[in-house]
Amino acid sequence: MQVLIGLCVLLVMAEEPAAWAEAPTRSLDELVGQVTALYREHRFAEAVPIAEEAIGVAERTYGPEHPVVAISLNNLAGLYAAQGQYGQAEPLYQQALAIKWKVLGPAHPGIAPTLNNFAGLYAAQGRYTDAELLYIHAINLLAASVGAKHPLVARVTNNLNQLLRIEMEAARPEPILPELEQPEGSEAASAEPAAPAGVESDTIALLKWKLRALEETVGSTHVHVAELLTGIAAQYRMQGQYDQAEPFYQRALAIVEQSAGPQGPSVAMAANNLAALYELQGRDADAEPLYLRALAINEQTSQDHRKTFADFTHLTDFYAARQRWADAKPLYKRWRDLIEDMYGPKDPEVASVLERYAACLEALGEQRKAQDLRTRAARIRSR
């Protein structure tokens, strides 16, 4: 299991601040470089005080709630986890996730490395189901943003596969009698298990085994079952096997509707998943009401407005792709009003929405209004 932890930590150690962060100061670069070098030499205890210093530098440079701070927290948590000090590692991962969730939003791919690391911690503690669900979440986030074939998706999927194989092996009963040795060179002695058709199909087989085991333990309508069903559906979707994915997404939606009620936040997420699948299948009449339902739920109930922003993105992109600009227009206005209320009228994220709104108005022939929005967006960006 130590191997899993190592794989997870390295994923975050190599993470670079992206578009949401300016380049770190030189002193922070130096500290992170020292931590990374010591980690690779397995000198974990020596690296801890340096990682703690890096957190302090990051907080003073960027403020306490910044993705660079979250990356530094991840690094320190990874050092504790590598030493088996799980109690010290877990709150650091939780703090890192909270920062990224708040600053980047729940659907941002920058959250995936922390989910991956946190899953490795749970795996090392034997909390297999918790770990598997975090791995699945990380895979889904990455696949939706960087594509199913991206190397990071493969790395996290490999971690998930390793864990599922370990759990499957642990659940396998011991034989009553030892197997007889086969003569050297015989077919039985030399035969190897057939290689899987591919990492993704192998993952589906493992996840289906886990689904059966979980249903035997908690029943077929538990929320964890819904999360696992979503993971299986997402694997099928990444392979382009949309017909196979559909019943798993449908069943996941039915479970969360039963457990959380028709207006629960988890229902919005499940509805969005199924809507996206229908859109890929060209089933617009089935996709649209699900997108609308997800948006309505999050507008009414969600305390995390970034979920609502994601819903606006899904639905406006859906309408824009079909040149249904009249349907998109009121959504852009509601989106603009909400994001201005949350961040203020001069935030860069407001500029992005204004530019999208302007493109919609231009398509409708409202050139003057569109130009006003573009001018305002340009002023925001020039600050």
List pLDDT tens digits, range 14-46. 344 444 455 444 588 899 999 999 999 999 999
State the pLDDT confidence band at 173, using cuts at 50, 70 and 90. Answer: low
Measured between alpha carbons, how far is 223 from 215 in angstroms, rounded to an integer? 11
Number of domains in the chain: 1
Measured between alpha carbons, how far is 132 from 331 in angstroms, rounded to an integer? 36
Q: Is residue 360 part of a domain?
A: yes
Measured between alpha carbons, how far is 70 from 356 in angstroms, rounded to an integer? 30
Q: Is residue 135 part of a domain?
A: no
Q: Are 311 and 278 in contact (CB under 8 A)?
A: no
Q: Is residue 222 part of a domain?
A: no
Q: For position 147, what pLDDT does the model report?
A: 78
Residues in the chain: 383
Q: For position 313, what pLDDT does the model report?
A: 92
Q: Is residue 337 part of a domain?
A: yes
Q: Is residue 52 part of a domain?
A: no
Q: Is residue 377 part of a domain?
A: yes
Q: Are 335 and 312 in contact (CB under 8 A)?
A: yes
Q: For position 301, what pLDDT does the model report?
A: 84
* DSSP class of 16: -
Measured between alpha carbons, how far is 274 from 233 in angstroms, rounded to an integer? 9
This prediction has a pTM of 0.77
Q: Is residue 106 part of a domain?
A: no
Q: For position 22, what pLDDT does the model report?
A: 52
Q: Is residue 285 part of a domain?
A: no
User: What is the torsion angle, in degrees rounded to the nearest 10, for the CA atoms of residue 190, residue 191, residue 192 and residue 195?
Assistant: 140
Structural domain span for residue 335 = 328-383
Measured between alpha carbons, how far is 41 from 306 in angstroms, rounded to an integer? 40
